[in-house]
A and B are shown apart, each in its own frame.
Chain A
Amino acid sequence: DTAVSQTPKYLVTQMGNDKSIKCEQNLGHDTMYWYKQDSKKFLKIMFSYNNKELIINETVPNRFSPKSPDKAHLNLHINSLELGDSAVYFCASSQARVGYGYTFGSGTRLTVV
């Protein structure tokens, strides 16, 4: 059973479109994250939710809006997609307290054309 699953795995879309990526974890973790990995493999945190509450919101364009309907799900909606949004987006989950590792999903490769 996949611990952190994201869908879709690949997403190709045109500039200006709106798209969503879904993430689900079955580990019972309280905290979930979205990370963006660019073409140079830099991983940058975007958002984090703890038990449906937004706790980390890095400097991300407001075209990106996370939504957590419950602590097992964290979705990412992106409006008005731009070429620079092309990247791999990773969802992850962990225990809330500091000192625990993350479990990552397999990523969603977003290509904006």
Chain B
Amino acid sequence: SQQGEEDPQALSIQEGENATMNCSYKTSINNLQWYRQNSGRGLVHLILIRSNEREKHSGRLRVTLDTSKKSSSLLITASRAADTASYFCATGGFSGGYNKLIFGAGTRLAVHP
């Protein structure tokens, strides 16, 4: 079964608005990562937040992590049409000591000009 579940499944906003996507997971984690996937392309790593961190910023991206609630959010501020993509959270944990990511189902974001 999937570790992470994103909410909402789809989000449609206007350019300039903020977009917030949420991710919930079930087991303990070492880190949580967010990826973007443009249509027909591979996934691109956006940001990683470790389990002992609560908030992280990268440009227009802000990620929060609440390990007590097993949830994370990704905020994209001042969205642009180019932000239209699917966004996935992935939980990072140990598999025999090795790096293993389990992905959620993704949120499809559409930003309209």
Interface residues of A (CB under 8 A from B): 4, 31, 35, 40-45, 48, 50, 55-56, 90, 92, 94-107
A80 to chain B, nearest CB (A): 27
Partner of B41, one of A50, A96, A102, A106: A106
Given A31-B98, A99-B99, verify A41-B45 contact (CB < 8 Å).
Answer: no
Indicate with 1 or 0, residue by residue over B28-48, a CB within 8 angstroms of chain A CB atoms.
001101010100111111001
Count, A-B residue pairs, CB within 8 A: 74
B56 to chain A, nearest CB (A): 13
Q: How far is the CA of A94 from the CA of B98 in the complex (A)?
A: 10
Partner of A98, one of B35, B40, B42, B93: B93
Using A31-B99, A42-B103, A55-B96 as known contacts, list a sample of 7 further A-B pairs with CB atoms less than 8 Å apart, ordered by residue number in A: A35-B103, A41-B106, A43-B43, A99-B50, A104-B42, A106-B41, A107-B41
Contacts of A90 in B (CB 8 A): 42-43
A29 to chain B, nearest CB (A): 10
Contact, CB under 8 Å: B99 / A43: no
Q: How far is the CA of A95 from the CA of B45 in the complex (A)?
A: 14
Contact, CB under 8 Å: B41 / A55: no
Contacts of B96 in A (CB 8 A): 55-56
14 contacts between A and B (CB under 8 A): A42-B2, A45-B101, A45-B102, A48-B100, A55-B98, A96-B98, A97-B98, A98-B30, A99-B48, A99-B50, A101-B33, A102-B35, A106-B42, A107-B40
